[in-house]
Structure formats: C-alpha cells, structure tokens
Chain A
Amino acid sequence: MATSTGLHGKIIKSQFFAFVRKEFAHVLRDRKTLLILFGLPIVQILIFGFALTNEVKNAKIIVIDYAKDVASRKIINKIRASKYFEIEGQAIRYEEIESAFKKGTIKIAVVFPANFSEDLSHPGSAQVQLIADASDPNTANALINYATAIIRDYEVEQNKILNVPLRIIPESRMLYNPQLKGAPNFVPGVMALVLMLVCVMMTAVSIVKEKESGTMEVLLVSPFKPILVILSKAIPYLLLSLINVTIIILLSVFVLDLPVNGSLFLLFAESTLFIITCLALGILISVKTASQQVAMLISLMGMLLPTLLFSGFMFPIENMPWPLQAFSNIIPSKWYYIIVKSIMIKGLGFSAIWKETLILFGITIFFLVVSLKSFKTRLE
C-alpha cells in the first residue's frame, strides 16, 4: 500500500514537472508574451517614475514681500535654491496676483505681510499667505506642499538657533515623504498594476488558449487531475511574477533611489499572497470565457481599471462618494497597495498590516474557492 501511494506520488510529480516544463516552453518561446511579461514592469516603472510623475519642477512662483526683513529674505533664498520653484523676477502688487494667475505666468504666489518679522519674534507666530492656481488641483496641492515644506524647514532651523519657539502658519506636512519625491506612491501602485495585468491576463489567456486549441479536452480526458491542470498552470506564472516583483524592486532601488525600508521577506510574502489572488481571478475569467480576445478584454477592463481607479494609487479614495469608497474595499489591489506602501516606504512590520493582510487573504480564499468550483462545474 505504502509503495503504491509512493509510486502514485512519483507519477503525479513527473506529470506535474512535464506540465510545468511545457508552460515555461510556451512562455519562453512566445516573444510577444515575454515582452509583455518583462517589458511591462520596466516600461511602467520608467513611465510612472519619470514621465508621469506629479512632481512639479521649476514652477513659476511670485514672491510679494511686504516685510523685507531677514526672515522673509532667508525664506525667499530657500525658495530660490529649491528645484521646484523658479522665482518670477518682476515684482507685482498684491492686487495683480489674480491677473498673473489668469495669464498663466505664475503657478503660485507667496505673500509675506509687513509685520512678518515682528509677529514672528513677538507672539512667536506669524502668517504667510500661499496662493496657488487650483484649476489644476493636483499641481496646486503639490506646490502648496512644497512651499510649506520650505517654510517649515526655515522654522526648524530658527528654532535650533533661538530659544523661543517660532511658529509660521500655514500648516501642511508631507508625512513619510520628506524629500517630496514622486516615486514612493508610484512604485507600490505599479507593482499592483503589473501583477494584476501579468497574472490575471496571462493565466486567463493561457488556459483559454488550451480551450480554443482543443488541448484542454485532451488534458481533461487524461489521468492528469483537473485540479493539477490548474495548479501547474498557476505555478509558472507565480514564479514569473515573483521575478517581476524582483525587477520592480531592483529598478526602484537602483533607478529611482527608493530603498525598501521594511522587511524584504515580508514584501515578497505579501506579494505572493497577492499573486495568488490574481491567479485565482485569471482562472475564474478563463472558466467563464471561450476566446482569448474576450479573456484579454475582461482582464484589461475588469482588472486594470478598478486597480487604477480604486486602489488609491492614482485617485484618493477618501475623496470619493461613499458607494465608491465601499466598493473599493473589494478591490484586492487596494489592500496590496496599502501593504506595499507600508512595508516599502514606511518601513512598517507585520503588526501594522495584519488587518490588511487578513482582508487580502479572505479575498484570495474567496476567489480561489469560486474559481475552482466553477472550473469543476464546467467539467460536468
């Protein structure tokens, strides 16, 4: 009995290896697939990291300095030194700000009131007015944040010199991203996006391809168990996806100068969980569709768009109406995005993300069960 199960296990193992080897042959032979598989993360990282960054450089800024004192001048020098701003040379009056905005010659204005220095030394708190062109809210937001950070920087310096604590209002801070880099938000987003695309689409297409070519039927008539068909389809894509994760991390560390602050092991473990979610989704799509084109379309529309819209990577979820906010909770990439951000950028450990992990785990189990069940029913 023991030898027979041993033999059985051996046969299953060799069947399995034959299948996995075949899957790799498919992928490696198909230049197009290969290009999508490995070109995609590289292109996306480069596009999102450099071209599509919402980091604003050399924005025209106008400074209206009614104070003309040491403090205001120091801040102006700091603004001048920053690569984010380019000070508009021609001085204008306060009343002319609006027309300057309308003409589009400036993006942001900084106004120091006449009593800036006095307020700063006497009550210890002074105001600076930051006015931005909010017709482009993202840029405006970014610029206000940059300017605020510069003022904060000055404040911190002064506080070190003087014993009296100073306060300069306005209030705004870039948490976890003090260098004001654009990349941190993109890398986790790109990871979610690439994995979604590669895993879901590749798995779905590769299974549907077997349906189209009639080989699936042959596999189902063979003694190879259906569940193993699915498993051996999934394993190569799991491995390839982990390679993809590695590529993205390497690019982000060496090209975008964005180190992984948390545990690399945890990052890979969580990525594996997310990849399994994607594979389950891919299997589900493949069961429900009959042609490669449909499978590809559903993967693109059904996976790519929700990932872009609802993961919080491009559009803040907090600003959405509540039905959409609620909907975003069932999007696996949202949770993966939060997890990767926490590990990579904030350097947090498992204790900080166990809730998100649990939710992602639940979603994964759900999709796995549903997709395996529907795969079974299809056989009937």
Chain B
Amino acid sequence: MQDPVIKAHNLTKRFGDFVAADSLSFEVGKGEIFGFLGANGAGKTTAMRMLCGLSRPSSGSATVAGFDVYNQTESIKKNIGYMSQKFSLYEDLTVLENIRFFGGIYGLTNKKIKTKSEELIEQLDLQNGVKKLVSDLPLGWKQKLAFSVAVIHEPEIVFLDEPTGGVDPLTRRQFWNLIYEAAHKEMTVFVTTHYMDEAEYCNRVSIMVDGKIEALGSPGYLKKKYGVESMDEVFYDLARGATRAND
C-alpha cells in the first residue's frame, strides 16, 4: 500500500485474562475511508482507543500518522481528530462557542478560528443558528457540527466512533457526504459502525469478531469471497462463526 498512515502489527490489548483486542494487523492508506465493523464487545473501541493514544497496548506495535502509539501519543493527538457516538458537543454552549472552544483546544490561532468558524457555518448552512444553543439543534445538525468540529484543525486522520447512531437514514446519507468531502481532501477516515449499508460506503472494511480481525478488504472483495450479495450477509456469516466459537 502507498503511504499507509495507520500501521498496526499484532496489536494486542489484554485486561487480565481477557483479550479485548487480539493480534490486530492492518494498514490504512492516506485518504482512505476505512470501516471498522464488529458486534458490540468485539473490541472495536479498544482498538480505536489504542490508536488514539488513550490506551497503552499490551503488545504488538502500531504507528499513527508516523508516530508510535507507545511513546509518541502527544504527537499522535496533534494529528488526529475524534468524534464519539455521543456527538460530544457542549449542549449549553452556542454553535459559535463550541467551534471557538474546540478550535482553541486544538491550538488554532484566534485569526484561524475566526476564518474557520465562518467557513464551517457557511458549509453547514448554519448562518441563522450561530447564536443558538446546541441543545436546540436537531440531531442531524448536531452530528454534522460535531464532525466539523472534530476536523477543525485539519488533522491527517479522523476517528469516528459510531457517528451515526440513532440518526435517520436521510441524515446519515448527508453525513456521509461530509465524510466523502473530507476524504477527498486527503484526510483519512477511520470509522466504526453498526450499519452495514454504511460499510458499503467505505473503501475497505475490517470485521472484528471476538477481538480478532476475521475479514479485511473492500466491500466488493469481501462479498465475492463469501459469495453473497450484501455486506449484511458477510457480517452475519462471520458473526455466526462467533456464536459457534462461543459454544
């Protein structure tokens, strides 16, 4: 692969006897939309936390944006954006205040924050809502704003942890347009999701089962490999494997 921005090799996280993430190896290329799929408890969040520098791996190695996850977490944090499934905005602050705050946290200059917020507000069509509290925004807007805020510092990679939970299909579609736009600007998108229709939007996906990566490749490749019509079926095939393994 050309220019991988995320490289993981046998990345493992143990909590006591429990192996939450078991020897994960994968690479993500620059500007790629990489889907990270798996049932609840499969280890997606653990893997993501290790890559974000929030959790120290038990063994294995990984670099994110060229920095080591063991001892260069500070540099990693400067080069990534992150959006959690809760949209993680301050509900009691206005749209503009949220933008300013996160811009400030990411160390942007005041001038930069000003131009960025104007740009964002225009992009999101929020001109009338600048002074509104985030709690008054509809869910779809919140989600879009959260994404824009997560990439306000133009990071190399953005991590999205189930960003479309609880949102209607139409809004989800709009949200994915934002993701495409970001990827178009060479930003790498690492996204975990439950929705298999979203898996189809990704360039490549990995499917985690019981802490291991069971399948990795483009949606087209995986469908062909398992001889099925949709990602849904690929996922069910693998998930059934998990139940058997548990028996």
User: A-side interface residues toward B, CB under 8 Å?
Assistant: 11, 14-15, 17-19, 21-22, 25-26, 29-30, 213-215, 217-224, 379-380
Contacts and interface: CB of A to CB of B under 8 A. Distances in A.
Interface string B61-82: 0000000000000100110101
A14 B104 contact: yes
B77 A223 contact: yes
B84 to A, nearest CB: 5
B103 interface: yes
A379 B101 contact: no
A221 B82 contact: yes
Interface in B87-105: 87-93, 97, 100-105
Nearest to A22: B101
Given A22-B97, A221-B77, A15 B107 contact: yes
A30 B159 CA distance: 32
A223 B80 CA distance: 9
Nearest to A27: B92
A223 B88 contact: no
22 contacts: A14-B110, A15-B104, A15-B105, A18-B105, A19-B104, A19-B105, A25-B92, A214-B85, A215-B90, A217-B54, A217-B84, A218-B88, A218-B150, A221-B52, A221-B53, A221-B77, A221-B80, A221-B159, A222-B82, A222-B102, A223-B77, A223-B105
Given A29-B93, A214-B88, 13 more contacts: A17-B104, A18-B101, A18-B103, A25-B93, A26-B90, A214-B85, A215-B88, A218-B102, A220-B54, A222-B77, A222-B102, A223-B78, A379-B54
Contacts of A222: 77, 82, 102, 105-106
A30 B92 contact: yes
B107 A213 contact: no
B90 A14 contact: no
Interface in B9-62: 52-56
Given A221-B54, A222-B77, A223-B74, A213 B104 contact: no
B2 interface: no
Among A21, A26, A221, A224, residue most surrounded by chain B Cβ atoms (within 10 Å)? A221
Among A15, A18, A26, residue most surrounded by chain B Cβ atoms (within 10 Å)? A18
> Can you list the 8 inter-chain pairs with the closest CB atoms, starting with the nearest?
A18-B104, A214-B86, A221-B82, A11-B107, A214-B88, A218-B88, A223-B77, A214-B84
Contacts of B87: 214
